[in-house]
C-alpha cells in the first residue's frame, strides 16, 4: 500500500469521526402506546382512548395481531426525527430516498463546498484499498481544480443575466457556487452527507425489514441498525412487532447480480431515448376529454353548458384556477384541481446521479430505478454539463478524471471486489437510466419547481423536454405546465417571482417555453 493510502487509511478509517452518526433528536411521546390507543379508539363506544391510559403489557397481543394482519395505519401516527451524518450520497439515493414516506433536509453540494476526506470507505484491504483511496483523492482534487477553472465561464454566464453587477465583488460567492454546482459532477457517490431525516414508526419498521436490499447493503445495515437501536432506547415496546430483516436472497435482483449484460442494455436504452433526456413513452390518450368530464362532474353541469376546452381551462389555467397561484401546494385539497389526477404520463429518462437525486425527491412522481452495479460497464459512462464544455482545460480535466475513475473501478473488479463496493467510486456524473410515471396533478407541481431558472440545469432541461412533448399531444394541458413566475403572472399573484433575493435575473414569465435557454 502506498504511503498516501496509509495516511488516508489512518485518517479516515481509524478516526471515529468518520463513522456514521445516528441520533434520534425528536420523537412522538408515548409512541407505541399511541399505536394501541388509536387501534382501540376505532372500536371504542366511550370516545377517544388516551395514550396515558394504555397498559402496553395488557394489549401487546392486540398490537402484534393488527401488525400481523397488515392494519398498519396505527403505526403511522408516531414520527421520529433523526440527525444523520457521515452517510454516503449513494446510500441516500439507493435506500433512504427511494420511497415516498420520509422527509429529509440535507446539506447541498450545490451551495456548500465539499471538504476533503468526507467519503464512505467500503470494506477493502491491501491493494484494493490503495486503489480506492487514490481514486477518491484524485476525484476531490479534480473537483477543487474545476471550481477554479469554471469560475470564468460561470462569471461570463452570470453577468449575461446581471450586467449591472459586473465588477461588484459582493457577488463572487454566488458565482463560485455556480462553479461548485458543476464541479461536483466529478465527486464520487461515496461522498458523505449530513441531514435531518424524519419518518413514521411504520417506515422505520420497513427499513429494518428491507435493510439487505439494494445497492448499499453493508452501509444501510449499519445505519438502519443504529436507527433501530435509537428507537428501542426511546421506546422498547417496538420490540413487540420488530421483525428480522429479509435475507438478501429473498429479492429478485439477487439472481441477476454480476450478470455482465449491462453494456447491451445501455446501448438499447440510449437508442430508445431517440435523442431526448426524458422521452414520453406512454400516456392516457383521452386525458383531455376525461378531465373535461371530471370538471363537469365536480360542478354538476352538462357538456352543453360547459365545453371541453372551457372545462380544461377552468382546471389548469391559473387565471381561472387561482389555487394554482399559491406558493403552498393546495391542489390535493381542491376539488377542481384534483381532476388532474386522471391524466398520467410515463417517461424514459437518463439523468446524472446528482440530478436524479433531486428528481427522486419529488416523491409523488415515482420511478423504477436500477440496481446501479448492474449498469456498470468497463468504458467511462457519464454526463458532461454544458458549462464544462465552455472551458477547454476544464473539459480535458473532466474527461481525464472520468477515465481515471473507470480505470480504478475496473481494477477493483479485476481484484475480485464486488461491484456494489466498487460502485461507490462512480462520479455524480454517472447516468441513471430509468422509467418514471406521474399523474398530471403531481407532475404539474414538479414541473413548476424544476422549470424555475434557479433549479439545477440538468433537471431543468429534462423538465423542459417533458413539457414540449406533452404540449404536442395535449396542448390544452401542456400549455399550462410552467415555472412559478409564469403561473403567478396568470393568476395575478405578485410578485411574479417568489424567490426574492434569489431572483434568477431573467423575466421568464415573459417568455414562451420554446424561448427558454440557460447554461447555469
> What confidence category does residue 111 fall into, taking pLDDT thresholds of 50, 70 and 90?
confident
Q: Are 481 and 447 in contact (CB under 8 A)?
A: yes
- Which of 451, 507, 458, 517 has its CA nearest to residue 478? 451
Q: Are 194 and 84 in contact (CB under 8 A)?
A: yes
Q: Are 346 and 282 in contact (CB under 8 A)?
A: yes
Is omega for the bond preceding 495 within 30 degrees of 0, making it cis?
A: yes
Q: What is the rounded CA–CA span in Å between residue 361 and residue 381?
A: 24
> What confidence category does residue 263 fall into, taking pLDDT thresholds of 50, 70 and 90?
confident
- Which of 97, 98, 107, 105 has its CA nearest to residue 81? 105
> What confidence category does residue 261 fall into, taking pLDDT thresholds of 50, 70 and 90?
low
Give me the pLDDT at residue 86, please: 96
> What confidence category does residue 117 fall into, taking pLDDT thresholds of 50, 70 and 90?
confident
Mean pLDDT of 101-124: 92
Q: What is the rounded CA–CA span in Å between residue 330 and residue 332?
A: 6
End-to-end CA distance of the chain: 41
What percentage of residues in the chain have a pLDDT greater than 90? 88
Query: pLDDT tens digits for 173-226?
Result: 999 999 999 999 999 999 999 999 999 999 999 999 999 998 888 999 999 999
Q: What is the rounded CA–CA span in Å between residue 92 and residue 94?
A: 6
Mean pLDDT of 401-414: 98
Mean pLDDT of 436-449: 98
Phi first, then psi: give them for residue 369, nearest 5 degrees: -95, 155
> Does residue 11 surpass a pLDDT of 60?
no
Mean pLDDT of 492-505: 95
Give me the pLDDT at residue 255, please: 80
Q: What is the rounded CA–CA span in Å between residue 195 and residue 105?
A: 5
> Does residue 14 surpass a pLDDT of 50?
no
Query: pLDDT tens digits for 24-76?
Result: 999 999 999 999 999 999 988 899 999 999 999 999 999 999 999 999 999 99
Mean pLDDT of 67-95: 97
**What's the farthest any 2 CA atoms get from each other in the chain?**
82
Torsion of CA 207, 212, 216, 218, to 10 degrees: 110
Q: Are 381 and 462 in contact (CB under 8 A)?
A: no
Q: Per mean pLDDT, which range of 194-208, 252-266, 446-460 is the poorest?
A: 252-266
Q: What is the rounded CA–CA span in Å between residue 410 and residue 421?
A: 12
Query: pLDDT tens digits for 288-341?
Result: 999 999 999 999 999 999 999 999 999 999 999 999 999 999 999 999 999 999
> Does residue 485 surpass a pLDDT of 80?
yes
For the chain, the average pLDDT equals 94
Mean pLDDT of 397-402: 98
Q: Which three cell numbers stand for residue 302?
A: 352538462
Q: Is 26 helix (H, G, I), strand (E, B) or coil?
A: strand
Give me the pLDDT at residue 116, please: 86
Domains, the chain, ordered by start: 16-110+193-256 (3.30.1360.170)
Amino acid at each position: 500500500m502506498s504511503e498516501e493510502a496509509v495516511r488516508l487509511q489512518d485518517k479516515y478509517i481509524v478516526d471515529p469521526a468518520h463513522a456514521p452518526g445516528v441520533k434520534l433528536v425528536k420523537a412522538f411521546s408515548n409512541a407505541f402506546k399511541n399505536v394501541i390507543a388509536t387501534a382501540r379508539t376505532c372500536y371504542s363506544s366511550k370516545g377517544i382512548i388516551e395514550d396515558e391510559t394504555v397498559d402496553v403489557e395488557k394489549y401487546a397481543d392486540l398490537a402484534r395481531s393488527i401488525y400481523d394482519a397488515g392494519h398498519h395505519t396505527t403505526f403511522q401516527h408516531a414520527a421520529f426525527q433523526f440527525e444523520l451524518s457521515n452517510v454516503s450520497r449513494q446510500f441516500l439515493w439507493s435506500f433512504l430516498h427511494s420511497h415516498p414516506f420520509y422527509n429529509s433536509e440535507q446539506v447541498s453540494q450545490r451551495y456548500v463546498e465539499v471538504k476533503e476526506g468526507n467519503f464512505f470507505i467500503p470494506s477493502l484491504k491491501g491493494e484494493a484499498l490503495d486503489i480506492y483511496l487514490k481514486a477518491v483523492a484524485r476525484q476531490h482534487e479534480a473537483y477543487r481544480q474545476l471550481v477554479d477553472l469554471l469560475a470564468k465561464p460561470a462569471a461570463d454566464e452570470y453577468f449575461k443575466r446581471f450586467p449591472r453587477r459586473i465588477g461588484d465583488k459582493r457577488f463572487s460567492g454566488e458565482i463560485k457556487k455556480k462553479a461548485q454546482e458543476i464541479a461536483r459532477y466529478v465527486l464520487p457517490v461515496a461522498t458523505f452527507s449530513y441531514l435531518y431525516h424524519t419518518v413514521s414508526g411504520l417506515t422505520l419498521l420497513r427499513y429494518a425489514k428491507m435493510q439487505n436490499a439494494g445497492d448499499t447493503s453493508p452501509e444501510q445495515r449499519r445505519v438502519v441498525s443504529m436507527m433501530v437501536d435509537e428507537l428501542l432506547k426511546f421506546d422498547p415496546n417496538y420490540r413487540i412487532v420488530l421483525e428480522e430483516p429479509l435475507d438478501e436472497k429473498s429479492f429478485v435482483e439477487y439472481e441477476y447480480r454480476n450478470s455482465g449484460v449491462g453494456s447491451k442494455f445501455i446501448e438499447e436504452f440510449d437508442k430508445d431515448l431517440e435523442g431526448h433526456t426524458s422521452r414520453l413513452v406512454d400516456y392516457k390518450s383521452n386525458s383531455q376529454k376525461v378531465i373535461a368530464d371530471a370538471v363537469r362532474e365536480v360542478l354538476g353541469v352538462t357538456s352543453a353548458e360547459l365545453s371541453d376546452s372551457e372545462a380544461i381551462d377552468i382546471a389548469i389555467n391559473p387565471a381561472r384556477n387561482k389555487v394554482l397561484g399559491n406558493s403552498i401546494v393546495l391542489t390535493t385539497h381542491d376539488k377542481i384541481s384534483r381532476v388532474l389526477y386522471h391524466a398520467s404520463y410515463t417517461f424514459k429518462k437518463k439523468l446524472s446521479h446528482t440530478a436524479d437525486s433531486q428528481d427522486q425527491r419529488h416523491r409523488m412522481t415515482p420511478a423504477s430505478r436500477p440496481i446501479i452495479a448492474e449498469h456498470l460497464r468497463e468504458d467511462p459512462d457519464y454526463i458532461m454539463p454544458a458549462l464544462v464544455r465552455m472551458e477547454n482545460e476544464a473539459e480535458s480535466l473532466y474527461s481525464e478524471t472520468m477515465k481515471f475513475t473507470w480505470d480504478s473501478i475496473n481494477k477493483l473488479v479485476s481484484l475480485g471486489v464486488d461491484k456494489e463496493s466498487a460502485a461507490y467510486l462512480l462520479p455524480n456524473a454517472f447516468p441513471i437510466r430509468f422509467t418514471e410515471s406521474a399523474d398530471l396533478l403531481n407532475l404539474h407541481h414538479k414541473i413548476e419547481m424544476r422549470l424555475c431558472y434557479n433549479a439545477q440545469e440538468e433537471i431543468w432541461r429534462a423538465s423542459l423536454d417533458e413539457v414540449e412533448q406533452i404540449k404536442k399531444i395535449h396542448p390544452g394541458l401542456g400549455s399550462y405546465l410552467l415555472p412559478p413566475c409564469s403561473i403567478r403572472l396568470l393568476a395575478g399573484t405578485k410578485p411574479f417571482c417568489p424567490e426574492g433575493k434569489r431572483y434568477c435575473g431573467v423575466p421568464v414569465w415573459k417568455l414562451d417555453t420554446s424561448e427558454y435557454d440557460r447554461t447555469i
